[in-house]
């Protein structure tokens, strides 16, 4: 089975184009990660400044090294992007030319040891921000069966959610579920083999996605941040959002629709997708979709 670890900046040219980054001047990268998009924004115009946010301190440390040559053209904040308004206030900036969200986990997360991947035996953690209390271990071992089933169904669109939750609860009574492999095996046993055997996707991927979204409150973060970010744009400023799965994309699409009557225009009626060439170089890009909202 294939492993997904390589993740250079996705839809990079498209993001730079839609952000109007060549014209500049002040941008927010709400998901700094490895700093690939930020660096491209800084290179697009020597006048550009980036205020970057990430909730993962380790990502920030790594990105800061990469971005050292850009000096004070970059300011980095360890924060949730739902706090974008507070970050800009601290920075003394009231409006910006563009905001980028490249959602989800980074390849560092997938390659790391925090239990984001079904492909390696690791402790069940899944926190993007390690200073947060709630971990996947608690979700899997402590939530009531009904709540667990609801999470797996809602955030994973997993039709075997109830059966998976029932089996998880049965097993955890015998012994706590500690690792990614233990959880992945339970899911494998519940989902009929004929539905996944011989396919590239691991049958537990949906369950893992669901637990990750719940642990990191990913949808609450997006629902709070996108309207805030839109209202921080200057006239003609752009909000560019890259998503990686259908639930996330639907959420962003609906948030844009709600914002349109408040003085915004949806630039991308249909989302922009990676070219075949990009996917061939970077398979992690294959499910990416980019949407753009412009302030009138």
Ligand X SMILES: C[S@@+](CC[C@H](N)C(=O)[O-])C[C@H]1O[C@@H](n2cnc3c(N)ncnc32)[C@H](O)[C@@H]1O
State the minimum distance, in angstroms, from the CB of residue 42 to ligand X.
12
Query: Among residues 54 and 249, whose Cβ is nearest to ligand X?
Result: 54
State the minimum distance, in angstroms, from the CB of residue 225 to ligand X.
7
State the minimum distance, in angstroms, from the CB of residue 224 to ligand X.
9
State the minimum distance, in angstroms, from the CB of residue 201 to ligand X.
19
Helices and strands in the chain, H and E counts: 13, 7
199, 4, 241: which is closest to 111 by C-alpha?
A: 4
65 exposed, middle or buried (CB, 10 Å; 0-12, 13-18, 19+)? exposed
Sites of contact with ligand X (CB under 6 A):
9, 31, 33-37, 53-56, 59, 80-81, 102, 104, 106, 128, 221
Q: Are 88 and 28 in contact (CB under 8 A)?
A: yes
State the minimum distance, in angstroms, from the CB of residue 243 to ligand X.
10
3-state class of 52 per DSSP? strand
Query: Among residues 35 and 274, whose Cβ is nearest to ligand X?
Result: 35
String of b and e for 46-59 (b: at least 16 CB within 10 Å)? eebbbbbbbbbebb
Kindly tell me the sign of the dihedral angle through the C-alpha atoms of 53, 58, 64, 66. negative
Tell how far CA 239 is from the center of its chain. Answer: 16
Which residue's CB comes closest to ligand X? 33
Query: Among residues 36 and 203, whose Cβ is nearest to ligand X?
Result: 36
Query: Among residues 53 and 152, whose Cβ is nearest to ligand X?
Result: 53
Query: Among residues 220 and 260, whose Cβ is nearest to ligand X?
Result: 220
């Amino acid at each position: 089975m294939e492993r997904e670890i390589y993740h250079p900046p996705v839809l990079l040219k498209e993001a730079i184009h839609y952000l109007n980054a060549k014209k500049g001047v002040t941008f927010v990268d709400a998901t700094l990660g490895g700093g690939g998009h930020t660096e491209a924004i800084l290179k697009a115009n020597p006048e550009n400044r980036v205020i970057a946010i990430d909730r993962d301190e380790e990502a920030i440390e790594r990105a800061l090294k990469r971005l050292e040559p850009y000096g004070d053209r970059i300011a980095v904040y360890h924060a949730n992007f739902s706090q974008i308004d507070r970050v800009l206030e601290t920075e003394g900036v009231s409006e910006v030319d563009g905001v980028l969200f490249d959602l989800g986990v980074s390849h560092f997360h997938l390659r790391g040891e925090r239990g984001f991947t079904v492909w390696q035996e690791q402790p069940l953690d899944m926190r993007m921000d390690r200073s947060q209390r709630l971990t996947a271990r608690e979700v899997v071992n402590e939530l009531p069966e009904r709540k667990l089933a609801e999470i797996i169904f809602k955030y994973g669109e997993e039709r075997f959610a109830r059966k998976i939750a029932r089996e998880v609860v049965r097993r955890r009574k015998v012994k706590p579920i500690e690792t990614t492999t233990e959880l992945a095996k339970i899911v494998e046993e519940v989902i009929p083999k004929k539905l996944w055997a011989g396919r590239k996707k691991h049958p537990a991927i949906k369950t893992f996605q669901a637990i990750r979204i719940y642990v990191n409150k990913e949808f609450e973060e997006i629902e709070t941040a996108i309207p805030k970010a839109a209202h921080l744009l200057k006239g003609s400023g752009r909000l560019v959002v890259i998503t990686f799965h259908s639930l996330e994309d639907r959420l962003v699409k609906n948030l844009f629709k709600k914002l349109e009557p408040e003085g915004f225009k949806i630039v991308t009626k249909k989302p922009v997708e990676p070219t075949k060439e990009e996917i061939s170089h970077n398979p992690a890009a294959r499910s990416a979709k980019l949407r753009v909202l412009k302030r009138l």
